[in-house]
Structure 1
Amino acid sequence: MKKTMNHQNQIISINCAFKLALILALPISNAMSFEIQAYEQKIKNNYSVRSVIEKLPGRDLESTLREFIASGRPNRLVGSPGHKKTQEYLEAKLKSMNSAGATLSKLEFEGVADKKSLTGVNFIWEKKGLVSPDDVIILTANYDTLIKDPKTGKAIFKGEMPGADNNASGVSILLSMMDLLNKLNLPKTVKLVFLDFGEFDSQGAKNYATSKEFLADKNKKLVGVINLNMLGHDSRTGDKDKKMSNMNLYTQPNDAFAGMLMKSGKENYSTVTFTPTEATEASKLPADSSFFREAGVPAVTFSQNREGDLNPRYMTSNDFAETLNINTYTNVFRYVTSGVLAWNYDVVK
């Protein structure tokens, strides 16, 4: 009898361990970890902007970042199995954000990488405005990865490419923003665009900037495009000025769109600073924003201080989440999101 009981206990223990392993292996979903009350939907000032943004816990921001990185291991190199898994993850995630007015669309295009013709996919999540749907703001971030030989600068098409800073940080800020926007009744339209082939001459951005969908928005009241790239690194020791939380906003001189975003950011989250900076060869900045400006639309890129504090793990296999400054990453999310909400609710113009 004792032998039978012991055997049953062993089976129960094994089953429990197996179930626990399955639970731990499942993706972490943070979409339902906070709620927006009816009275909080009426955003009228900076206080209510901050109140809504801070409903999303900081731990969820890091969880989303790590979940996205895990979705494409060992790399998100275009054409790789990990890249395909990331596309499946993004499609499922964006489909799950299906509140009233929210839609998902995909734009496929032919891209070239390593002299091979491959199909790229840009994912577009839209939350249509209830009051002024033709007033549009677009945010973009590329989701693919690439590493380069530090000596020759040539691309390496194999190996680990976690791409935590470049550019899971930008993508995850959009994903977290989507969690928030999905719960709001927005007066104006917001589009979040997840770009493919960003590490290959920004082909995804170029394709989107010339697409019928983008040109249709341009003919409406498109206020501008915000590109997010490498927003997780921030150090004092590696910084030329020995400062923390000094990031850059790459833009054109006297850009009113950039000024509007910075005004809201400064008023709501002065814990991080974005300095208006014109992109140079030294900044190693992707061309994403330039394609939208060439189309006649104001476009800016939020990024780290690339000239003074560029991530030393840029385009290497050591670009892990553990190397990022999560505090700065959280403050950047809040800074950028405050600009989007302040514009949407006419808190800032």
Structure 2
Amino acid sequence: MFLRFYCSLLLGFLGFQVQAQQLTPSPTADTIRLRQHLLTLISTPQPRNYLHPASLQQAAEYIQQQMRTAGARTSEQTYEVQGKPYQNLIGSYGPEAGPRLIIGAHYDVCGEQPGADDNGSGVAALLELARLLGQQTNLPYRIDLVAYTLEEPPFFRTRQMGSYVHAQALHAAGVPVRGMVALEMLGYYDDRKGSQRYPFGPLKLLFGSRGNYVTVAQKFGNGRFGREFARRYRAAAALPVKRFKAPAWLPGIDFSDHLNYWQFGYSAVLLTDTAFYRNQHYHETTDTLDRLDMRRLGLAVDAVLATVLHP
């Protein structure tokens, strides 16, 4: 009996050693690169919105160039709104065929403001994820990173949203989609009590009053992908993560590009710092880079990478 016990112990130790040798450390997000992406996005001559198409185009060109530098297969999805062209930028990794995972972030802003958190932080995260994915080999499935245009008013909840155009095109072509992740405002954190608000007051008792976490939000009945992504992201993250599931009608649950994938029957989640429920500079001229936390933004990116690389 003792011999079997020690043999089992030895085999277990050796098995751990073999497993440890097979695992390679995942690359981590570079906070300097994240800051540089944000600086570039907020430094266009005019705010990057539909009222300033030249600045919106400048941001689009930067995003596409960064995707190419990261080794992505790049493409553009151009469409017209009110007689003007707008573009979604797509960077693809992994095999051409088979189901794909969509990870997206909108690069336009609302009104005359820099939009550092909304949604410069989401785009910076997308571009850093592009660099990290470019270091991977033999991805088991296709991952498409998509930078959307025209998410903000007056186009929000219309068919002119870049994410609607993209989701509709996937559906029309019969493309199999594993799921979709919207990166929406990921850079603002506040450790003070009372810094976090909710659409329904009693939620504070469950999730706490400190705005120091990332949320994976999804609607009821969102499918297997949503459940698995939320669980794996929380397990991988080195910062607090709250998993939030609610009816689609609850205010805030569908306030980003993932809502358009729901319309076509795709499982989609929102990854966010909770936007205006925490960041009081939302859609204001004070949504500036100096208010963001690069370290925690980097940790949020690291967890996305670890989650999508999960077998």
- 2:80 corresponding residue in structure 1: 110
Unaligned runs of 5+ in 2: 1-18, 198-207
Distance of aligned partners of 1:61 and 1:119 in 2 relative to their CA distance in 1, 3 Å threshold = same
2:193 aligned with 1:235: no
User: Which secondary structure does the structure 2 equivalent of 1:297 belong to?
Assistant: coil
- 1:125 corresponding residue in structure 2: 91
User: Which secondary structure does the structure 2 equivalent of 1:300 belong to?
Assistant: strand
- 2:162 corresponding residue in structure 1: 204
Deviation at 1:88, TM superposition (A): 1.9
Identity value in percent: 20
2:207 aligned with 1:247: no
Structure 1 contact 246–275 (Cα < 8 Å) conserved = no
* CA RMSD, 1 decimal: 2.5
- 1:75 corresponding residue in structure 2: 47
Structure 1 contact 129–188 (Cα < 8 Å) conserved = yes
Deviation at 1:333, TM superposition (A): 1.1
Within 5 Å, give how 1:76-225 maps onto structure 2: 76-80=48-52, 81-98=54-71, 102-111=72-81, 116-129=82-95, 133-147=97-111, 159=112, 161-185=113-137, 186-199=139-152, 200-201=155-156, 203-211=161-169, 213=170, 215-216=172-173, 218-220=174-176, 222-225=177-180
Equivalent AA in structure 2 for residue 248 of structure 1: T
Q: What does the per-residue CA deviation read over 1:6-32, in whole Å, with 9 as the maximum and x for residues that have no partner? A: xxxxxxxxxxxxxxxxxxxxxxxxxxx
Distance of aligned partners of 1:73 and 1:48 in 2 relative to their CA distance in 1, 3 Å threshold = farther
Equivalent AA in structure 1 for residue 217 of structure 2: Y
Structure 2 contact 188–292 (Cα < 8 Å) conserved = yes
Distance, in Å, in 1 between the alignment partners of 2:297 and 2:120 is: 11
User: Which secondary structure does the structure 1 equivalent of 2:99 belong to?
Assistant: strand
Structure 2 contact 179–226 (Cα < 8 Å) conserved = no
Distance, in Å, in 1 between the alignment partners of 2:305 and 2:172 is: 24
Equivalent AA in structure 2 for residue 209 of structure 1: A
Distance, in Å, in 2 between the alignment partners of 1:182 and 1:104 is: 12
Deviation at 1:194, TM superposition (A): 0.6
Q: What does the per-residue CA deviation read over 1:173-213, in whole Å, with 9 as the maximum and x for residues that have no partner? A: 110010011121122110001101010215111111111x4
Deviation at 1:325, TM superposition (A): 2.3
2:288 aligned with 1:320: yes
User: Which secondary structure does the structure 1 equivalent of 2:47 belong to?
Assistant: coil
Q: What does the per-residue CA deviation read over 1:79-138, in whole Å, with 9 as the maximum and x for residues that have no partner? A: 41211211221232223333xxx3111111122xxxx543211111111338xx413111
Distance, in Å, in 1 between the alignment partners of 2:249 and 2:280 is: 18
TM-score normalised to the size of structure 2?
0.78
Distance of aligned partners of 1:208 and 1:118 in 2 relative to their CA distance in 1, 3 Å threshold = same
- 1:293 corresponding residue in structure 2: 262
Deviation at 1:224, TM superposition (A): 0.4
Deviation at 1:232, TM superposition (A): 1.0
| Count of residue correspondences | 271
User: Which secondary structure does the structure 2 equivalent of 1:337 belong to?
Assistant: helix
Equivalent AA in structure 2 for residue 136 of structure 1: R
TM-score normalised to the size of structure 1?
0.70
Structure 1 contact 141–170 (Cα < 8 Å) conserved = yes
Unaligned runs of 5+ in 1: 1-43, 148-158
User: Which secondary structure does the structure 1 equivalent of 2:26 belong to?
Assistant: helix
User: Which secondary structure does the structure 2 equivalent of 1:93 belong to?
Assistant: helix
- 2:39 corresponding residue in structure 1: 66
Within 5 Å, give how 1:256-271 maps onto structure 2: 256-271=224-239
Q: What does the per-residue CA deviation read over 1:152-190, in whole Å, with 9 as the maximum and x for residues that have no partner? A: xxxxxxx4x211100011111110010011121122110
